[in-house]
Structure 1
Amino acid sequence: MGRVNDRNDRNDTVSRRAVFGVGLGAAAAVAASGGMAAATRLPDVPETGRARQARRATPGLWLRWWGNNSWEIKTRAADGTVKTVLIDPWLTRFHTGTYSKQGADPKTRVTVDTALLDRMIDSGELRADHILVTHGHYDHLPDVPYLAERTGATVVGTETHVNLMLAMGAPKDQLSIAVGGEYLSFDGYAIRVLRSLHSASAPRGKVAFAGTRPAVPPSPPEYIRDLVEGGTLAYEVITESGASVLNFGGSNYIEAELAGLRPDVVLLPAGGGMVPDYVGRLLRALGHPPYVVPTHWDDFDEPLFEPAKDWGGLQPLRDAVTSASPDSRFQVIDHLETLRT
């Protein structure tokens, strides 16, 4: 896989949402100061309604959106240290044409903007204790091997995801294979791994770039068609205070896997048009969560350091949530913004 440093000019135009000032700010500075930087607070759920009667979100989660399904989740351990979990961190955002009329070219080359990632890591703005991979597609996986190498984070994914990352140079001893069903405890947080499904598209309802890479690592992925889905996982991250966030990397799910889960925040992808009652079944299964935050709704051919541009799925998702779970708050955040519960 080639790595290119072709975005040096991007950081010259980040005045609106400067990387080193948005959200939590540099993790190193946060840890040193012993306090969390200011962030937008999720508003209270109304006093009446099913979601409010069931529970309210408890303090302890800071969520920052890096576009697409890239999320940074921060919490504080009992000793005061800040812990960071990343989900599908893909900041390179090389051009693919995915949301254009023509769609993505399968022979688009896979690249990693190491200069951008280095600047963010070296500044302390980007760090990770865990990186969670929902599936192996080109808009989720490419930056993970390099981020793992630079941050020392433990990476969780399926056997296919792990083999793809090994082929891309990820440190072998940092990769952890999951199949769904794992419930793992760490210092300051726990991670629940759920079996899930990728969204389907086209007239026959197929998964784009389907397939697996079991047994041994493949050749290094050269084109986006080489980064196959490889099984899809969902993740719930739970803090010591009991606050939790549930993320889906594709607009589909296994309803039975959700039984008994009551997350405070659901990161819900736009789309799901081929899934019957996509939003309603999900929110009912989760007991009408207090907060629904949309994810995977921006056109990722557009710059990360500018306001997100909707590919067309945001309003239909909002309407579906309002109809299916009116007491849940639909909370939209923009690129690099941070919310806390």
Structure 2
Amino acid sequence: MRRRLVVVLSILLTLAGLAVPQAATAHPDATLVAARSAVFGKHNVDQTTGALRADRIVFSWFGVSGFAVAMAGHVFLTDAWVPNVYTGHVPTSRAQIAAIKPSHIFIGHGHFDHAADAAEIARASGARIVGSAAHCAHFRTTAAPGVSCDAAVPSGARPGSLHIYQGLPGITVRALPHLHSTMKAPTGEHAPLLPIPPSGRLLVQPPRPEELRRLAGHLNDPEGGAVLYAFEVGGRTVVWNDSVGPLGQDPAGPDIVAALRRLRPVDLHVGSIQGFNEITNGLGDAVGYIDALQPRIFVPNHHDDWFPVIATPAVSRERAFLDALSSVDAAPEVRYLRDPEDYLRPDRVTLPIGG
């Protein structure tokens, strides 16, 4: 896949400089209010202070597995890459996401489509990056001074172990090292799924050279392990993961499944449904995570048109996902997100706390 990305970039890339966002000149509170209102909706934001409602959990999607999250008044991100390779595909930018002033950026894994904007957003907002020890080692080596990283998963942690992160007051965060997606031999249980038809946007809306140029420097960013996070607050449990590994085909699978089951009951699972194994085993890995967690509500991620040639719009896999989900005994309510219309639509993924 990485070699394919290099080829795609070499074809698409032309020399261009990356535009530098201009500093905001409005009153700090007004800037914060405007930024958070655009991402979370005015009805969720105090229009004087910019504070978020403390009685809500809100996930606002900005592409791939990236969400701006408001949880019991805290504001944080899951992953950090705004996939605007196509101009204006996502109605926001790195600068605008930084302007909501997240306190933390939780990294699921370190590939460019998940973490390419993490250091820049962290520098601009003051957010702490949270991930594995390997993620933090990478950011400490490559990021400019001023970027802090907390290792929620220590070095050498085994897949399936659960680790408490205490950086969010009032919210219990459990970090679970699991498996990144990888291709395995077909089992015949689920039909193969290819990322077709390709997006027609490539022809009508050519990729931005400056963004391709910037991403070229992130193609070798290390995975650093895959981490799933469970957030517990006000009687609610919310799980987010940005990759799905072959739980049924890997020696570590049983330990990870056992750990996922220990996280139950899960009110909301925001999980990846795209992975390398789908080419031979369809969406079996994605539904394996859902089956283990048995969430009440499931919201997909990593299923949108995030990069030319190798990704397609979310609707291209919707029917296949729903068909695969029929194999789960306790199927959840599905709130299927479609791009680009569901970017920055916070009411699509909102839960009351304590309700």
TM-score, structure 1 as length reference: 0.65
1:153-168 → structure 2 map (5 Å cutoff): 153-168=127-142
Specify the code of the residue in structure 2 equivalent to 1:188.
Answer: G
| 3-state SS, counterpart of residue 306 of structure 2 | coil
CA drift of 1:27 comes to: 8.3
Cα distance, 1:311 vs structure 2? 7.3
State percent identity of aligned pairs: 22
For residue 198 of structure 1, what is the amino acid of its counterpart? H
Alignment of 1:178-327 (within 5 A): 178-179=152-153, 181-185=162-166, 186-201=168-183, 223-239=217-233, 241-252=234-245, 254-262=256-264, 263-271=266-274, 272-273=277-278, 277-286=284-293, 288-301=294-307, 309-310=313-314, 312-325=316-329, 327=331
> Which amino acid in the other structure matches residue 256 of structure 1?
A
How far off its partner does 1:292 sit?
Answer: 0.7
Using the TM superposition, give the Cα deviation of residue 137 of structure 1 relative to its aligned residue in structure 2, in angstroms: 0.5
State whether structure 2 residue 58 is matched by structure 1 residue 84.
no
* Greater relative contact order (Cα < 8 A, sep 6+): 1
Name 1:131's counterpart in structure 2.
Answer: 105
Q: Deviations over 1:249-280 (max 9, x none)?
A: 11225323213112211112123525694244
> Which residue does the alignment assign to 2:38?
21
The residue type equivalent to 1:183 in the other structure is: I
Taking structure 2 as the reference length, what is the TM-score of the superposition?
0.63
CA distances 1:91-120 after superposition (whole Å, capped 9, x unpaired):
15447xxxxxxxxxxxxxxxxxxx942344
More helix by share: 2
Identify which of 92, 95, 111 aligns with 1:118.
95
TM superposition shift of 1:134: 0.8
> What are structure 1's unaligned runs of at least 5 residues?
9-17, 38-58, 77-81, 96-114, 205-219, 303-307
Gaps of 5+ in 2: 1-15, 23-34, 87-91, 154-160, 187-213, 248-255
Kindly state the Cα deviation for residue 181 of structure 1 after the two structures are TM-superposed: 2.5
Quick check: 83-92 or 132-141, which moved more?
83-92
Which of residues 98, 102, 118 is equivalent to 1:144?
A: 118
In structure 1, C-alpha distance between the alignment counterparts of 2:296 and 2:224, rounded to whole Å: 32
SS at match of 2:183: coil
Is 1:328 aligned to residue 332 of structure 2? yes
* Residues 116 and 277 of structure 1, relative CA distance in 2, 3 Å threshold: closer
Say if 1:35 and 1:299 are closer, same or farther in 2 by CA, change over 3 A: closer
Is the Cα contact below 8 Å between 2:230 and 2:263 reproduced in 1? Answer: no
How far 1:164 moved relative to its partner? 2.5
* Number of residue pairs matched by the alignment: 262
CA RMSD of the aligned region, Å? 3.7
Runs of 4+ in 1 over 6 A off after TM superposition: none
CA shift digits 1:178-213 (9 cap, x unpaired): 326221233232211001111113879xxxxxxxxx
| Contact 2:111 2:222 survives alignment (8 Å) | yes
Kindly tell me: are residues 143 and 330 of structure 1, through their superposed partners in 2, closer, same or farther at Cα, counting changes over 3 Å? same
Q: Could you give the per-residue CA deviations for residues 2-49 of structure 1, whole angstroms, max 9, x where no partner exists?
A: 9822899xxxxxxxxx99635334987457266649xxxxxxxxxxxx
Q: How far off its partner does 1:88 sit? A: 0.6
What secondary structure, in the 3-state scheme, does the structure 1 residue paired with 2:111 have? coil
CA contact (8 A) 1:70 1:90 kept: yes
Maintained 8 Å contact 1:182/1:192: yes
Match of residue 57 from structure 2? 61
Residue 293 of structure 1 deviates from its aligned partner by: 0.5
2:76–2:104 Cα contact (<8 Å) kept: yes
